[in-house]
A and B are shown apart, each in its own frame.
Chain A
Amino acid sequence: MGVKDVDPGEDLGSIIERTAPEKNRYYRVEIPKLGPAVLRNLEALATGAKYLVRPIRITVDYPRQVLEQPPWYRGMFRLLEDVCIGCSLCDIICPSDAIRMVLNPQKKKKPVINWGRCIFCYYCVDICPVEAFDTTTIHDVAYDRYEDMLTNIEEFTKDPRERDPSKGAMRMRIKFDERRGFIYEPVKGR
């Protein structure tokens, strides 16, 4: 192929080679070698066929199977209203403005949470001086409507385990397998 005069700023891709760097404006168009290209294509086909015949799945079939989380996993939590002293530290520390303080019927300040804003950093749980938050490992923040994510005190004191969307699902655990890498196996005895 011939030598082509193109703009030096223009990038035409990997197979184009600069031939006169001192002038910085001449490029040669080169055709890639046929043999290695065909071999690489055949290699890719063989790899694809290998995975097609012996499939490895690394995804969990979510609504039917859920991963069992360790007890220190940061999931949804609820307010223990009787324990809370209304100190507002959780509202102050919250980095995403998810927690707000509202007045309950007894004119005491209590926190409420917007699950749409919460990033599950657990600063509020850590900073609480009286441990007024009851934590779970449920992380399925799935609601029918956006407004349902904005809780009031009554909803925030309800147990998240009661409305867990993945309640009937099979609990899975991660296991390491020599051939397939990480696989999932069902948790027994629950």
Chain B
Amino acid sequence: MMLPLVMLLKEILGFNDTIYRTVVGLGYMIIYPGLLLVVVIAALMLWAERKIAALVQLRYGPLWVSRRIGGALQGFADLIRFSFQEVIIPRRSDVIPFLLSPGLAILFSMLPIAFIPISPSIHPPVYSDLALLVVIAIISLAPIFIVIMGWASDNKFAFVGSLREALLIVSYEIPLIISIISMAVIYKSLDFYEIVERQYMLPGMILNPFAFIASFIAVLRTTSRFPFEISEAETEIVAGPYTEYSGLMFGLSMGLAYIKLYVYTLILSLIFLGGWLPLQGGEGFLLGFLAPSLVVILKLTLLSLVAVFLRAIYGRYRLDQAIRLGWIYVFGLSIVSLIWSLALVYGGWVRWV
């Protein structure tokens, strides 16, 4: 809505370039690929997760809110309910970290959107040719605040949950970073535009399938999807690090996993699925921005749907099983993917003109 208006204003009034970039950047972060779209997709994913699990388990799933479209507005109804519920702060909690950490976790998991392009014509607010590295560095700060949440709330379930989270961060972030770096080795670039351009013949998931599988499993852990929903295991430790949160704060901390899922699948769809690639981008707002970005969002939605589908079929790993899987298979797979990339590049099978 805002962007064509701004482009029109720029042509008519002869906007100063700095103002134009500021307004477009704000719109980028707050409206289209940023906050508003993230909230919409997170709410729809919450519904899709429950609905898919219900269909596989021979049930109806959410149906009471908006019955005609299968209860699809359930996520938004939950969001409204969380916003108006009372926020209770436990007396023994460490108040400032307790209140700040959900917001900071969300901030650090949404900040990478500022570096990630979503279309060939409109650049992200911060353009850098080292964007991939910056994005990975920023988003791996978010789990630290989950550990702080559990520590600050002074509750034994929260302690156990944040301890599990801390153990699992170590065993799954490293394979994720290694497998993403192995894709950077293949593309010989950390710039998202070059990465997407170089997939014009083969998408990254065919160039290096090991890296795709390893990073997808690591993303499942990082966004605490099944079978790695160990730090929030609700049948064991009420809600893990989020046990003491209520009202809007609980909504924020529960939505954190879905926001991270959005950002990670956005990164994966750019690196492995070729981003906006069937479309090359063209002139104007529609062909240059909207259509390519919709292709990217379609791809990330498909990846997220696969991730939430796993809730229906997997149980939950024990902590030691998950850590063993991480260090033996996923870490091994990421090392294999790095060797595969080096072999492809230095064996001369992949040459970029």
What bracket does the count of chain A residues touching chain B fall in?
Answer: 10 to 19
Docked complex Cα distance between A166 and B63 (Å): 18
Question: B12 interface residue, CB < 8 Å from A?
Answer: no
Contact string, A41-58, partner B, CB cutoff 8 A, digits 1/0? 000110111011001111
Q: How many A-B contacts at CB < 8 Å in the complex?
A: 37
Q: Are A48 and B58 in contact (CB under 8 A)?
A: no
Q: Are A13 and B58 in contact (CB under 8 A)?
A: no
When distances are taken between beta carbons in the complex, the residues of chain B under 8 Å from A164 are: none
Known contacts A31-B328, A61-B63: A48-B318 contact under CB 8 Å: no
Q: Are B58 and A58 in contact (CB under 8 A)?
A: yes
CB distance from B347 to the nearest CB of A (A): 26
Q: Are B318 and A13 in contact (CB under 8 A)?
A: yes
Centre residue among B312, B318, B329 by max chain A CB count within 10 A: B312
Question: B15 interface residue, CB < 8 Å from A?
Answer: no
Question: B56 interface residue, CB < 8 Å from A?
Answer: yes
Docked complex Cα distance between A184 and B320 (Å): 44
When distances are taken between beta carbons in the complex, the residues of chain B under 8 Å from A52 are: 52, 55-56, 309, 312
Question: B200 interface residue, CB < 8 Å from A?
Answer: no
Q: Are B313 and A57 in contact (CB under 8 A)?
A: no
Contact of A48 among B309, B320, B321, B328 (CB under 8 A): B309
Nearest B residue to A44 via CB reads B313
CB distance from A54 to the nearest CB of B (A): 10
Docked complex Cα distance between A52 and B312 (Å): 9
When distances are taken between beta carbons in the complex, the residues of chain A under 8 Å from B314 are: 44
When distances are taken between beta carbons in the complex, the residues of chain B under 8 Å from A45 are: 313
Known contacts A44-B314, A51-B55: A61-B60 contact under CB 8 Å: yes
Docked complex Cα distance between A137 and B227 (Å): 44
Question: B59 interface residue, CB < 8 Å from A?
Answer: yes
Question: A106 interface residue, CB < 8 Å from B?
Answer: no
CB distance from A44 to the nearest CB of B (A): 5
Q: Are A59 and B59 in contact (CB under 8 A)?
A: yes
CB distance from B174 to the nearest CB of A (A): 20
Q: Are A57 and B309 in contact (CB under 8 A)?
A: no
Q: Are B58 and A59 in contact (CB under 8 A)?
A: yes
Nearest B residue to A50 via CB reads B56
When distances are taken between beta carbons in the complex, the residues of chain B under 8 Å from A48 are: 56, 309, 312-313
When distances are taken between beta carbons in the complex, the residues of chain B under 8 Å from A44 are: 313-314
Known contacts A13-B318, A31-B328, A61-B63: A56-B312 contact under CB 8 Å: no
Docked complex Cα distance between A44 and B328 (Å): 22
Q: Which residues of chain B from 24 to 70 have any CB-CB distance to chain A below 8 Å in the complex?
A: 52, 55-56, 58-60, 63
When distances are taken between beta carbons in the complex, the residues of chain A under 8 Å from B59 are: 57-59
Docked complex Cα distance between A99 and B55 (Å): 43
Q: Are A47 and B60 in contact (CB under 8 A)?
A: no
Nearest A residue to B57 via CB reads A51
CB distance from A43 to the nearest CB of B (A): 10
Nearest A residue to B313 via CB reads A48
Q: Are B58 and A51 in contact (CB under 8 A)?
A: yes
- Extra contacts, 8 of them, besides A44-B314, A48-B56 (Cβ < 8 A), are A31-B328, A44-B313, A51-B55, A52-B55, A52-B56, A55-B55, A58-B59, A61-B60
Chain B contacts to A: CB under 8 angstroms: 52, 55-56, 58-60, 63, 309, 312-314, 318, 320-321, 328-329
For the complex of A and B, the 8 pairs showing the least CB-CB separation, nearest first, are A48-B313, A55-B55, A51-B56, A58-B58, A44-B313, A48-B56, A48-B312, A56-B58
